[in-house]
Amino acid sequence: MCLLKGKCDIKTDKNMKGVLCWCSLLFVICLLGEIKADNDGVYIVYMGSAATSRNSYNLLLTSLEERKSMAVLHNYKNSFLGFAAHLTKKEADDIARKPGVVSVFPDPVLQLHTTRSWDFLKYHSGVELDSKHSAKYNISSSNAASDIIIGIMDTGIWPESESFSDEGFGPIPSKWKGTCMKSDDFKTADCNRKLIGARYYTAGGGLTSPRDHNGHGTHTASTAAGNTVHNASYYGLAIGSAKGGFPGSRIASYRVCGPRGCKGSNILAAFDDAIEDGVDVLSLSLGSSPGYGPNFHRDPIAIGSFHATEKGITVVCSAGNDGPRKGSVVNVAPWILTVAASSIDRDFQADIALGDKTVIKGGGINFGELEKSPIYRLLYGITAKGNLTTYDEVDARNCIPRALDRDKVKGNIILCESTKGMYSTKQKLAGVKRLGAIGMVYVNDNARSVASSTGSFPMATVNRKDGQKIIHYAKQERNPTATILATVSVTEYKPAPVVAYFSARGPSFATKDILKPDVAAPGVAILAAWPDKDSVVKLTGKKPPHFYILSGTSMACPHVSGLAAMIKSQHPNWSPSAIKSAIMTTATQTNNMKKPITTNTGSLATPYDFGAGEVISSPLQPGLVYETETIHYLHFLCSIGYNINTIKQIASKVPPDFACHTNPNQNLISNMNYPSIAISKFIGKQIIISRTVTNVENSDTVYTASVEAPHGLKVTVTPHKLEFKKNKNKLTYQVSFRSDGGLIDDNFGAITWSNDRYRVRSPFVVRSK
């Protein structure tokens, strides 16, 4: 499936009703953006913090005003400074040498990366809250209106959706300084007390309205903060009460993406506005291609999120859809909360009934109307091979377009494999439909694990094991017959969660000493709000749906954004790192069979797959939190090669006595006060890592450490117990890692602090490379 090629989500096309991927187009656009790096075009000039670089910024803009060749598209002037402009390569090089300029880089094009999901998280977590603490944190009123604002940077929003009704909401929070921009198809009145702001960015990206004609932004916004909508479904599938992670949130939409992708200059402009507007959480289901860094000063999301975090805004980003390739995770800056994707306990089953009375439980979403009895001829692709010598039997088995004979295919159900990867599922589906097939059975493990819609065309996907059964039947039977039933939703499916095959994996390309992704959340077949005038996903003869089903880390990200907003509402003074810590240290590593979470291949999931684990629905009682302060991020920048002068330009507040270590080593990053631990280039000699935890319950208590360590690695925690007093809520401990040799590759484990109420778990990875 093309989902492997980029940050795309599964969608439906009205003509071939197959898997429509934006990946190829966006991948080409991204490559073109990188190819243009040495040419004239739009460049971003980044000048660091508004608190440190204002004079240099004003002087530079004044000196450039008379250059007619320079057309400024964006001015970044609130929390950070800079601009985006049309420049020649020479002009860009000249500006890069000016005082106060941190970096100048070509404007990159970044890529876009429900009902059952929240119910699943709630009961799957197995967390029981006693009445005292439930009352204290007002957990039962998470649907109540609050003044927490989630900013969504995406493709815009469809304001008419019931998910964004403002019924029950009070006045717009006084802290809100944003606006609701007008356009030909979007009125100021389209905003309300729920959807309090909507912006779009015309310069460079060609966007003309805050309105979402794509659906992606509406889907993510409702997943994060949509109201509870009863009897929501996609034409009867996944029926239930759709709701966001924190329905009481207000929403501010920032349209930064259009048909050609998400321009970095627009993303920076949205960060600049959102910080000034007064949002509490920012949710970005988009990112660059893997390996874009580690130049964080050239990554629009890393730049914008750093300044947002400095201002107390929690930034949540998708990990990317380039999995299961190792090292494919993006949005890896330590100040970002990075989210991988997992499945929930709902499966979309499209059964295949064979003529020998065997029934195979296939997958996918189809609303076909074939007879329930297996009366249709089942034709294996190889049997339908055409006469062209250009194509061989392998091509025919894989239903490569033009490899099949029209007269043989017409009127039959075609059985196709996926052992040859030249063509996408979409192309194969379009091919068999064009030849007159009445149905398609597709053998593909990945397609079976992630349901996509083929509309009214009967198609079912099966894994390799079940596919072999059908292939054997089709080859051995003289007159093989079958039928494909319409899809039904099945809940309490096991095992769940499972890490999605497309979800990007660690380790981080930028530094192996920060563990990414941070957590996993539901991102497979998520039902959420959809533009009600979208004819692409509409079934013939029916009204457009108000909800649609998508998969991707794009869908996982807003789940965590909603949780972050819920925590912020209960703990308004918590920092972004405290919120991140609460979500990470309360995550679970077990599935609904009470066994360790696995990947879609059945292998045990590791922290490179799901970070600290699968989020739970109410991480409001973490007990202890790891607070990562701005100064820790500054030392991180030192460790990856930034000099002190550049760091002073980037950060708004740098202590007068701050200095980069004169003899930096790999352990400086590992010693960042992060909720997880990563150590690279470990040769067995003792390495000691420090962490500081804060008791957020403000009561006398004692925590005891326990260690999960792989064979051959000796891990010791000192002290073994932490005794907190009301006047002493911060304590530091050390972890010693030592081996007598023999460790290779990646070694995973965890350190857990427990008392009689809380369990605070931090994963670790020790790498030999």
Q: d(Cα 106, Cα 86) in Å, to the nearest integer?
A: 10
Q: What's the token pair of residue 580?
A: 């991140």
Q: Does the CA dihedral 191-254-118-564 come out positive or negative?
A: negative
Instruction: Assess contact for 21 and 111: CB atoms under 8 A.
Output: no
Q: d(Cα 43, Cα 40) in Å, to the nearest integer?
A: 9
A 10 A CB-CB count for 524 gives: 30
Active site residue 133: no
Which residue matches tokens 């760091």? Answer: 647
The single residue of 124, 216, 219, 632 carrying the catalytic annotation is 216
Residue type, 341: A
Q: What's the token pair of residue 19?
A: 């898997």
Instruction: Assess contact for 268 and 44: CB atoms under 8 A.
Output: yes
Beta strand 250-255 with 149-154 is parallel
Instruction: Assess contact for 725 and 707: CB atoms under 8 A.
Output: no
Whether a cis peptide bond, with omega within 30° of 0, leads into 656 is no
Residue type, 145: A
Look at residues 295, 305, 152 and name the one whose alpha carbon lies nearest to residue 225: 152
Q: What's the token pair of residue 425?
A: 């599922």
What's the half-sphere exposure (Cβ side, CA atoms, 13 Å) at 328? 21
Q: d(Cα 240, Cα 156) in Å, to the nearest integer?
A: 25
Q: d(Cα 288, Cα 298) in Å, to the nearest integer?
A: 11
What's the half-sphere exposure (Cβ side, CA atoms, 13 Å) at 427? 15
The single residue of 288, 554, 581, 676 carrying the catalytic annotation is 554
- What are 311-314's contacts with CB under 8 Å, separation 24+? 311/79, 311/275, 312/575, 312/576, 313/274, 313/275, 313/279, 313/280, 313/281, 313/282, 313/576, 314/280, 314/281, 314/282, 314/564, 314/568, 314/576, 314/579, 314/580
Active site residue 216: yes
What's the half-sphere exposure (Cβ side, CA atoms, 13 Å) at 547? 29
Q: What's the token pair of residue 187?
A: 């009125």
Q: Does the CA dihedral 752-246-282-316 come out positive or negative?
A: positive
Residue type, 22: W
The single residue of 13, 154, 273, 347 carrying the catalytic annotation is 154
- Whole-number Cα distances in Å, 410 to 237, 371, 436, 708: 30, 17, 4, 59
Look at residues 677, 657, 348 and name the one whose alpha carbon lies nearest to residue 493: 348
Whether a cis peptide bond, with omega within 30° of 0, leads into 324 is yes
Q: d(Cα 148, Cα 164) in Å, to the nearest integer?
A: 15
Active site residue 307: no
Q: d(Cα 501, Cα 239) in Å, to the nearest integer?
A: 25
Catalytic residues: 154, 216, 554
